[in-house]
């Protein structure tokens, strides 16, 4: 199977499409202007929309996965409490990690079209950002941002006349946990979604240096359906 440049971009192994958003964050260059427009809309209502995380490479996602699999980085349960990984078998470990972290090659953060936001106007300068759902719920510092996103983004998903953004992880099913902070830019993200191919991604995982590989491959079809394929 020969890999195309778009498959390299899909899987976080090509940076040609990126531009700097800040000194710690890169995004797809076609996202810079629409995101600046979104930030401007936010400023009009007192929000200071800040990007916590944008593009993430395959290598970075592989490191996150492997350190979680080895118990070197905390793995949280659905309530956000740390799990005792040594008590889980390999299959349980795989599904515990998948609740909060994508397999390398399958993260929407590989695309440069997706990013995590918070509101710098709502917290002190030394605030330690958690990206925890409590922060975005009623009573949390970013609840105003969340309510604003419901009106500006969730009510008009993919609408280029409005913002062009949507939130892919707002509903809690049996897959990825809700991530109210995660935004996608539809014109780019929908293109990448269409490139997702179960067999090609499975092949990439099989070829990689990933922990828990046997358990991942044994449950591949379930993993693809629950955590990778977009079902809308």
Q: How far is the CB of 161 from Zn ion (least distance, A)?
A: 25
Site membership for Zn ion, residue 193 (CB under 5 A): no
Residue 182 interacts with Zn ion (CB under 5 A): yes or no: yes
Q: Which segment (44-52, 93-101, 138-146, 182-190) binds Zn ion by CB under 5 A?
A: 182-190
Q: Which residue has the tokens 């490191």?
A: 63
Identified binder of Zn ion from the candidate list 18, 56, 62, 116, rule CB under 5 A: 116
C-alpha 131: how far from chain center: 11
Structure tokens at 190: 């929908």
Nearer Cβ to Zn ion (116/135): 116
Enter the tokens of residue 218: 């044994």
What is the spatial distance between Cα 79 and Cα 140, in angstroms, rounded to a whole number? 16
Q: Which stretch binds Zn ion (CB under 5 A): 7-15, 16-24, 75-83, 109-117?
A: 109-117
- Span from 19-27, 115-123, 154-162, 213-221 in contact with Zn ion (CB under 5 A): 115-123
Task: Give the residue at shortest CB distance from Zn ion.
Answer: 182
Q: What is the DSSP string of 5-52?
A: HHHHHHTT---TTEEEEETTEEEEGGGHHHHHHHHHHHHHTT--EEEE
Give the residues across from 82 on adjacent strands. 76
The binding site for Zn ion (CB under 5 A) comprises 116, 182
């Amino acid at each position: 199977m020969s890999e195309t440049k778009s498959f390299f971009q899909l899987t976080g192994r090509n940076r040609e499409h990126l531009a700097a958003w800040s000194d710690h964050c890169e995004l797809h260059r076609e996202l810079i202007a629409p995101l600046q427009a979104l930030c401007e809309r936010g400023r009009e209502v007192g929000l200071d929309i800040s990007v916590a995380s944008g593009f993430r490479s395959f290598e970075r996602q592989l490191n996150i996965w492997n350190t979680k699999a080895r118990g070197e980085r905390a793995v949280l349960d659905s309530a956000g409490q740390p799990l005792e990984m040594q008590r889980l078998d390999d299959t349980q470990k795989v599904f515990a990690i998948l609740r909060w972290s994508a397999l390398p090659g399958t993260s929407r953060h590989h695309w440069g079209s997706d990013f995590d936001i918070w509101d710098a106007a709502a917290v002190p300068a030394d605030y330690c950002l958690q990206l925890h759902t409590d922060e975005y719920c009623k009573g949390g510092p970013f609840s105003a941002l969340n309510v604003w996103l419901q009106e500006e983004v969730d009510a008009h998903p993919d609408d280029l006349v409005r913002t062009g953004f949507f939130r892919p992880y707002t509903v809690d099913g049996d897959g990825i946990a809700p991530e109210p902070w995660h935004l996608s830019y539809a014109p780019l993200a929908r293109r990448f979604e269409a490139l997702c191919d179960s067999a090609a991604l499975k092949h990439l995982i099989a070829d990689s240096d990933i922990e828990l590989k046997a358990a991942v491959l044994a449950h591949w079809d379930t993993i693809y359906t629950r955590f990778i394929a977009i079902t809308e």
